[in-house]
Amino acid sequence: MLHRRVTEYGHTVEEPREAVRRARTAAGLSVRALAEIAGISPTTVTRIEAGRVDPGWSTLRKVLAAAGEEAVLNTRPLPAKPIRSRSRTTLAGLSDAWQRTARGDTPDWTRLRGALDVLAQHPELLPDALEPRPKPSGSDVMDALLAGIADKLADDARLPRPNWTKRIPRLKAEWSAPGTPAMLAARRAATPPQLKERGLLLDESSLWRDRASVDV
């Protein structure tokens, strides 16, 4: 997916959401009409224009072509800077990534997915990201989740599991987001064993994106 990249028309640089909205308006097309010409759903066009989804390059070209414009990708080097700060690329820096809600302790899925995306893109950071033990978060669910994530990352990379995860106990009661019996059964089947061992029901795709989509 394109994330905050730009398309260039002559000397005008725009983000995808701005480019799609401007091109559609200039062509005098409704969202539904543009979607029909492009062969995608109106919901997709609406989400692109609202900035809730970053379209892939092929999708962006298709949508803009439907509005009579050609997308040309312009790139330029970024200023040199560290990839991410250490606290953003260690599990220890995520111990506060949760909140207590009426439905119980709820992890901050956005922060967790962001950290896992960085580690997927930069596997050389993984050993240092796993080693520091997170401070007790104040949530048994969060402590178990971070330990399960650490074990899965280590297993997937064929690294030794961090010693600190052995000291995190399994949850006394199985934890899962609300769902119907059928949803819970499907979630159980799709839960990585490292999370299931800790009493967590969470399908892998809720945290780990497909590698191909992380890299674009």
User: Per-residue confidence at 77, pLDDT binned at 50, 70, 90?
Assistant: low
- For residues 190 and 102, membership in a common domain is answered with yes
Q: Which residues contact 141 (CB under 8 A, 6 or more apart)?
A: 98, 104, 105, 107, 171, 175, 200
What CATH number should be reported for the domain holding residue 32? 1.10.260.40
Residues 97 and 132 placed together within one structural domain of the fold: yes
Phi, psi angle pair for 72, to nearest 5°:
-125, 120
Residue 22 resides in a domain: yes
User: How confident is the model at residue 126, as a pLDDT?
Assistant: 93
Say yes or no to pLDDT of 86 above 50.
Answer: no
pLDDT at 10: 39
Same domain (yes/no): 132, 170: yes
User: Phi, psi (5° rounding) for residue 30?
Assistant: -80, 165
The mean per-residue pLDDT over the stretch 178-200 comes to 91
Residue 77 in domain: no
- Identify whether residues 43 and 132 lie together within a single domain: no
Mean pLDDT across the stretch 166-179? 91
Residues of the chain above pLDDT 70, percent: 83
Q: With a cut of 90, say whether residue 1 has pLDDT above it.
A: no
pLDDT tens track for 12-66:
457 888 889 999 999 999 999 999 999 999 999 999 998 888 888 888 889 999 9
Total residue count of the chain as it appears in this document:
216
- pLDDT, one tens digit per residue, over 3-14 is 434 444 433 457
Full domain range(s) for residue 188: 86-214
Give yes or no: residues 60 and 133 share one domain.
no
End-to-end CA separation in angstroms for the chain: 5
How confident is the model over 202-209, as a mean pLDDT? 88
What pLDDT is stored for residue 46 in this prediction? 92
Q: Is residue 73 part of a domain?
A: no
Residues 61 and 92 in one domain: no
DSSP 175: E
Question: What token pair was written down for 158?
Answer: 């064929």
Q: Domain tally for the chain? A: 2
Asked whether residue 55 is assigned to any structural domain, the reply reads yes
Q: Is residue 175 part of a domain?
A: yes
Write down the pLDDT at residue 75.
64
Residues 114 and 62 in one domain: no
pLDDT at 198 over 80: yes
Which pLDDT score, from 0 to 100, does residue 117 have? Answer: 92
Residue 176: phi, psi to the nearest 5? -160, 155
Average pLDDT, stretch 163-173? 95
208 and 116 part of one domain:
yes
Longest dimension (CA), the chain: 62
Residue 81 falls within a domain, yes or no? Answer: no
Place of tokens 């609406």: 46
User: Is the residue at 39 inside a domain?
Assistant: yes
Q: Quick one: pLDDT at residue 6?
A: 41
DSSP 161: P
CA 10, 28, 60, 80 dihedral sign is positive
Our CA angle for 43, 64, 31, nearest 5°, is 30
| pLDDT at 88 > cutoff 70 | no
Q: Which residues contact 210 (CB under 8 A, 6 or more apart)?
A: none
